[in-house]
Amino acid sequence: MRVVVAGGSGFLGSHLCEALLRRGDSVCCLDDFSSGPAANTDPLLPLTGFDRIPCDVTARFQVPGDVDAVVHLASPASPYDYRRHPLRTLAAGSRGTENLLELALRHHARFVLASTSEIYGDPQVHPQDEDYWGHVNPVGPRSVYDEAKRFAEALTTAYRRAEGADAGIVRIFNTYGPRMRAHDGRVVSTFVRQALAGEPLTVFGDGGQTRSFCYVDDLVEGLMAMLDSDLPGPFNLGNPNERTVRELAELVLRITGSNAELRRQPLPVDDPVRRRPVIARARAALGWTPRVPLEDGLRRTVAWFATRSYESDTCGALSE
Ligand code: NAD
Ligand code: UDP
């Protein structure tokens, strides 16, 4: 297969590109390097079967050659990024999704949309299965991301129904691992960076809110299983092992051997109180199940961060 990975130089995208190349697929990475550094995919450039086209998927772009599948990962993903870039985020979910669906349709290619647990908003149903319609504030600070992804899901579904596109949706829950940007504001990268530097860990609110953290290798396996199927989904992809933010902070302190303090900061507006995926559908339909326990995944993540210099943690338009 030749797979177009839009957002392929980002955190998830670069791991996906590597995994596809490892199993013998060709990969064409599209990225504007706004929130994923080129350095994530520079080492792939000499490899046979890999090419990279710097472009903004919300504008005009060309992909020469065959296309057998398209994965749309190109969007700001961390709350810190999308709050600062609301219009870019809405464009990625709307125009970006349309452009990539058109590309897939022209080539009769499989299309997979990387949607998100954020489409459930601040959920009133717990845990969340795919039949839950969500609880999203349409004008709150997170709405640009949540509504862009909800629109992208609707568009993907319409292309499948009205145009016969081989299109499917996965809803990704909080995923972590090597190559997260140290300053992307997400909780795992922030806590690990702070703990390694001996700085206080910034716990928002009372730290009682929960998330369910999936290691990147597991997530990439789920994405590939979805690429290889012709199913519409939507399927939740995540690890149902739910933790409070305070528990995560304590685990990071233990793994890093840090005795830094926890410092309370105000809870951001509309921060979801709890989140845990039901993954029965992905298990049954894709034969997928996450395997890496949080402690193991965090150890690998800490080991990677420990070798980094954060001075160079900048990339393109989203770093200010
Ligand atoms: P990321 O920011 O590391 O990756 C996004 C990539 O897309 C970056 O390389 C960025 O430069 C690129 N990009 C952004 N806008 C673009 C545009 N208009 N044109 C071309 N390239 C563009 O984030 P990530 O964590 O790897 O997330 C990847 C995708 O998965 C996103 O769509 C995100 O919404 C989704 N997702 C991720 C998570 C998670 O926990 N990581 C959870 C839910 C959903
Ligand atoms: N969070 C925190 N301290 C930080 C960053 C995040 O306590 O320095 C909290 C945040 O309020 C949220 C959880 O951690 O409740 C996950 O935040 P993240 O931005 O990683 O992802 P999302 O909110 O999109 O799930």
CA pair distance 113, 71, nearest whole angstrom? 6
State whether the beta carbon of 146 lies less than 6 angstroms from ligand 1: no
Q: Based on the structure, what is the number of domains in the chain?
A: 1
Look up residue 138 and give its DSSP letter: T
Q: Whose CA is nearest to atom 33 of ligand 1?
A: 77
Catalytic residues: 145
Q: Which two tokens stand for residue 273?
A: 């109180």
Asked whether residue 111 is domain-assigned, the answer is: yes
Q: Which two tokens stand for residue 295?
A: 């402690």
Chain centre to alpha carbon of residue 158? 23
Ligand whose nearest atom lies closest to the CA of 55: 1
Cα(230) to ligand 2 centroid in Å equals 34
Cα(174) to ligand 2 centroid in Å equals 10
Q: How far is the CA of 118 from the CAs of 59, 123, 153, in angstroms?
A: 25, 9, 12
Amino acid letter, 180? M
Asked whether residue 173 is domain-assigned, the answer is: yes
State whether the beta carbon of 244 lies less than 6 angstroms from ligand 2: no
> Candidates 53, 56, 73, 315: which one to mutate for ligand 1, based on the most atoms within 8 Å of Cβ?
73
Which pLDDT value is given to residue 313? Answer: 60
Q: What CATH number is associated with residue 93? A: 3.40.50.720
> Candidates 84, 117, 172: which one to mutate for ligand 1, based on the most atoms within 8 Å of Cβ?
172
State whether the beta carbon of 245 lies less than 6 angstroms from ligand 2: yes
Asked whether residue 60 is domain-assigned, the answer is: yes
Cα(283) to ligand 2 centroid in Å equals 27
Does the pTM surpass 0.75? The reply is yes
Which pLDDT value is given to residue 312? Answer: 55
Which pLDDT value is given to residue 243? Answer: 98
State whether the beta carbon of 172 lies less than 6 angstroms from ligand 1: yes
Which pLDDT value is given to residue 311? Answer: 58
Q: Count CB-CB contacts under 10 A for residue 98.
A: 17
Which uninterrupted H or E stretch holds 71? Answer: strand 69-72
Asked whether residue 218 is domain-assigned, the answer is: yes
CB 16 within 8 A of CB 223: yes
pLDDT (tens place) for every residue of the chain, 320 residues total: 999 999 999 999 999 999 999 999 999 999 999 999 999 999 999 999 999 999 999 999 999 999 999 999 999 999 999 999 999 999 999 999 999 999 999 999 999 999 999 999 999 999 999 999 999 999 999 999 999 999 999 999 999 999 999 999 999 999 999 999 999 999 999 999 999 999 999 999 999 999 999 999 999 999 999 999 999 999 999 999 999 999 999 999 999 999 999 999 999 999 999 999 999 999 999 999 999 999 999 999 999 999 987 755 655 545 54
Ligand whose nearest atom lies closest to the CA of 56: 1
Asked whether residue 11 is domain-assigned, the answer is: yes
- Closest atom, ligand 2, to C-alpha of 188: 20
Q: Which domain holds residue 98?
A: 2-178+214-240+276-290
Which pLDDT value is given to residue 318? Answer: 57
Which pLDDT value is given to residue 247? Answer: 98
Q: What are residue 72's phi and psi, to 5 degrees?
A: -105, 100
Nearest to 138 by CA among 117, 115, 122: 122
Amino acid letter, 89? T
Q: What are residue 145's phi and psi, to 5 degrees?
A: -80, -50
Which pLDDT value is given to residue 308? Answer: 85
Cα(12) to ligand 1 centroid in Å equals 7
